[in-house]
Structure 1
């Protein structure tokens, strides 16, 4: 499907990269989304997150809020998985994923970019020049981010961290077949509290530049 020769140009033994893709999977409250946006700014490449939802909305006729709920909601009010793996499936959720998959592939083929969440690491697994990153942080730091940045109280923050992490894991397991933090499918796993938001973004960009021999313009 992908033409590797179209992505790389070899000149006098050195490889100059034309296009690459970065996927970011993250724990809720780890500030992975903010870090991904900053990386896109530093690397001067496209950033995709909510944009994908809007494109899915256009093609399915569903509201963005409905898509987001269907993507990440994996539990019902009784605490059980909404759609047990290998049993009943959701036509709406499956439709969203299939449309979203095609959009992710199309966007990644156009130009270098960063994709946040949505099983992009799985969808783009055959893409050349792909780097999969997982961003996490200690719960204490995630609580601080939720309280200070999302205006939650501590109880709300704890509940939200637990619920969103579980929903994202269930979603990833359902469509990718593995957990979002499975080391077998990650190139880099980093604690965002170690260097902070800016430090983490800068460090990851340096890794990308080194990996693909990018030079600052």
Structure 2
């Protein structure tokens, strides 16, 4: 029996989603992957690591969803892949790395359309972490040692970037409850409570 458990986490800026993912992984005794995916994807694809950092969760304006899927099915040696813009190659490399990671081990994966990449994996489920604006702004202020106005600006811009990236590269809508298996408001439950709720969901699903 396949005992893998893969939890993907989408998150609003300031919601504590990344920390929830880390806490969840620690309590389950598995790894949490966030930016680590960039380094692995760079290594496996042969593309420069700096390129992944530059294009991390950033959308473009000329990408066709069908092109991604067609190229992914054809593989990296196809002529269409060779002619593809670098940002498209970077997305495909991350997509491939996420699928490989999930097939090899139990883990928590934060961001980068991981829920979309693993949509057909029966041992994976997706979570979106949201929160009340006041709470999110306060967390950003504390994390970055900045005032409320600057924190709010970061929150809005980061969420806009993440939304554009997700909507652009996937066939779903970012922050839409229909795009995820469960949505959690970290303001209502706190970080620890959010972790417990996600673990309970995994148990009910028979994955724990």
After TM superposition, the score normalised by the length of structure 1 is: 0.80
5+ residue gaps, structure 2:
69-83
RMSD: 2.1
| Equivalent residue number for residue 39 of structure 2 | 54
Q: Is the 8 A contact 1:134 1:181 kept in 2?
A: yes
Who wins on radius of gyration, i.e. which is larger?
A: 1
From 153, 159, 183, the equivalent of 1:159 is 153
Q: C-alpha separation between the residues in 2 aligned to 1:136 and 1:152?
A: 21
Q: C-alpha separation between the residues in 2 aligned to 1:84 and 1:154?
A: 35
From 45, 50, 53, the equivalent of 2:30 is 45
Q: C-alpha separation between the residues in 1 aligned to 2:120 and 2:207?
A: 21
Q: C-alpha separation between the residues in 2 aligned to 1:193 and 1:104?
A: 29
| Equivalent residue number for residue 24 of structure 1 | 9
Q: Is the 8 A contact 1:71 1:171 kept in 2?
A: no
Shift of 1:84: 5.1
Q: Within 5 A, what are the aligned runs for 1:50-129?
A: 50-58=35-43, 59-64=45-50, 66-74=51-59, 82-83=60-61, 91-129=85-123
5+ residue gaps, structure 1:
1-5, 8-17, 75-81
Indicate yes or no: 2:131 matched with 1:137. yes
The secondary structure found in structure 2 opposite 1:25 is strand
Q: C-alpha separation between the residues in 1 aligned to 2:165 and 2:207?
A: 34
Deviation sequence 1:143-201 (CA, Å, 0-9, x none): 00000122222222111111110111111111102222222221110100112112211
Consecutive aligned runs of 4 or more in structure 1 exceeding 3 Å deviation:
84-87
* Stretch of structure 1 that moved more, 200-209 or 54-63: 54-63
Aligned length: 190
Q: C-alpha separation between the residues in 2 aligned to 1:86 and 1:131?
A: 26
Q: Is the 8 A contact 2:99 2:117 kept in 1?
A: yes
The secondary structure found in structure 1 opposite 2:127 is strand
Higher helix share: 2
Shift of 1:213: 5.7
Q: C-alpha separation between the residues in 2 aligned to 1:138 and 1:42?
A: 26
The secondary structure found in structure 2 opposite 1:212 is coil
